[in-house]
Amino acid sequence: MQTTQFQSAVGIAHPIVQGPMNGASPPALAAAVSNAGGLGSCAAALLAPSAILETAAQLRGLTDKPFNMNLFLLPELQTPPALEQAQALLQPIREELGLPPAQTPLRFSENCRDQIAALLEAAPPVASFTFGLLDAQVVRQFRKKDIQVIGTATTVAEARAWEEAGADFICALGAEAGGHRATFLGDFEQSCIGLMALVPQVTHAVKVPVIAAGGLMSGRGIAAAMLLGAQAAQMGTAFLCCPESGIAPAWRAALAAAHDDGTRLTRSFSGRWARGIVNEFMEHMRPYEQVLPAYPVQNALTTELRQAATRAGRSEFMSLWAGQGVAMGRPMPAAQLVDTLVEELRLAR
């Protein structure tokens, strides 16, 4: 099989990226994918700077192959958010889960600038970013340390902005994708572009290699994305089904039971639009979706509730992130999944 420019630049055997997944992409998963010849990724958005360094060290202990670490790019909160209404909406569910009345979180997220500094120090071979855009000068700092940069884009304008900032690669994220939308420039709804339409337009607009993400679950899917101009496929939901993702049994069961129409986008869990399997929490919060505080505030307000639900195996209150291809998920070890995808891709080409 022909090696793409992306594969050569990163130094991987296969055009397969395991997408970073908060809470579901531990070093064991990323290393298994990298060792199998793909690019494994660890989500670092919720990690403190010291944990970012520890995670990079763990990864280096598990693989000598290239790997990726990922951050959310968030502006600093300017004014203290109004919390009363959002907390009141969550109170009945807290009671149902036996939680005491909510305390105001001391802070809502890690400091993004400190995380970027830690990632520069950790120096993974590849760093990917979502929710925003790095300054060209910061991208240069990554490049100086031989860290290749992937910028996530949901529109042509976002892809061009990342290319102008100096990103090495663009991850084009289709509307089918599981987890959070990456949109940072345009209107969120207008930026929900299906992958079949997004990939050819992005590859036409930028010169750097494009990675396609969203709804890809098989070698045929990867082949289709590559036929449209992508040089690799980034897959989240497919790898979520692997035992190494370490997700809770209730989430795994929900993945196994989901159908093609089982997911939708919601702001209810985090304050940012994200795709997950529809459950009672999403339905309960649906009427208030537009008035909830933005990420990371709502995310912080629901953290304790989601953790309690996970401990209790109550999937009706958990954030069950998954993409529209979820019903095609195949629970198997990550290395086996990479091998299977490679063989399917070979047959499809």
For residues 124 and 147, the answer to whether their CB atoms sit within 8 Å is: yes
Least Å distance, CB 103 to ligand FMN, is 26
The C-alpha atoms of residue 300 and residue 23 are separated, in whole angstroms, by 14
Indicate whether 89 belongs to the interface with ligand FMN (CB under 6 A). Answer: no
Least Å distance, CB 193 to ligand FMN, is 13
Q: Which residue is nearest to ligand FMN (CB)?
A: 236
Least Å distance, CB 308 to ligand FMN, is 19
Choices 198-206, 265-273, 307-315, 317-325 (CB under 6 A): range interacting with ligand FMN: 317-325
The C-alpha atoms of residue 159 and residue 191 are separated, in whole angstroms, by 12
> Tokens for 6?
């992306």
* From candidates 236, 271, 296, 329, binder to ligand FMN by CB under 6 A: 236
* From candidates 69, 90, 112, 173, binder to ligand FMN by CB under 6 A: 173
Indicate whether 237 belongs to the interface with ligand FMN (CB under 6 A). Answer: yes
Indicate whether 70 belongs to the interface with ligand FMN (CB under 6 A). Answer: yes
Residue whose structure tokens are 């069950």: 320
Q: If you compute the radius of gyration of the chain from its CA atoms, what whole number of angstroms results?
A: 19
Indicate whether 176 belongs to the interface with ligand FMN (CB under 6 A). Answer: yes
Annotate 7-39 with b (16+ C-beta within 10 A) or e (fewer).
bebbebebbbbbbbbbbbbbbbbbbbbbbbbbb
Task: Identify which of residues 138 and 211 has a Cβ nearer to ligand FMN in the complex.
Answer: 211
* From candidates 235, 277, 292, 318, binder to ligand FMN by CB under 6 A: 235
For residues 126 and 7, the answer to whether their CB atoms sit within 8 Å is: no
Binding mask 1-30 for ligand FMN (x = CB under 6 A): ------------------xxxx-x------
DSSP 8-state secondary structure symbol assigned to residue 130: E
For residues 170 and 163, the answer to whether their CB atoms sit within 8 Å is: yes
Q: State the DSSP H helix or E strand holding residue 127, giving kind and residue range, or none if neither.
A: strand 126-130
Report the SS3 class of residue 297: helix
Least Å distance, CB 3 to ligand FMN, is 22
Task: Identify which of residues 45 and 89 has a Cβ nearer to ligand FMN in the complex.
Answer: 45
- For the residues of 237-295, what is the DSSP string, one character each? HHHHTSGGG---HHHHHHHHH--TTSEEEESTTTSS-EEEE--HHHHHHGGGGGGSPPT
User: Considering only CA atoms, which of 126, 108, 120 is closest in space to residue 46?
Assistant: 108
Phi, then psi, of 223 in degrees rounded to 5? -60, -40
# residues contacting ligand FMN (CB under 6 A): 30
Least Å distance, CB 275 to ligand FMN, is 8
Task: Identify which of residues 89 and 177 has a Cβ nearer to ligand FMN in the complex.
Answer: 177
Indicate whether 219 belongs to the interface with ligand FMN (CB under 6 A). Answer: no
> Tokens for 190?
């207008």
Task: Identify which of residues 20 and 124 has a Cβ nearer to ligand FMN in the complex.
Answer: 20
Subset of residues 40 to 59 that bind ligand FMN, contact rule: CB under 6 A: 43, 45
* From candidates 68, 152, 191, 279, binder to ligand FMN by CB under 6 A: 152
Indicate whether 73 belongs to the interface with ligand FMN (CB under 6 A). Answer: no
Residues near ligand FMN, by CB under 6 A: 19-22, 24, 43, 45, 70, 128, 130, 152, 173, 176-179, 213-216, 234-238, 240, 321-323, 325
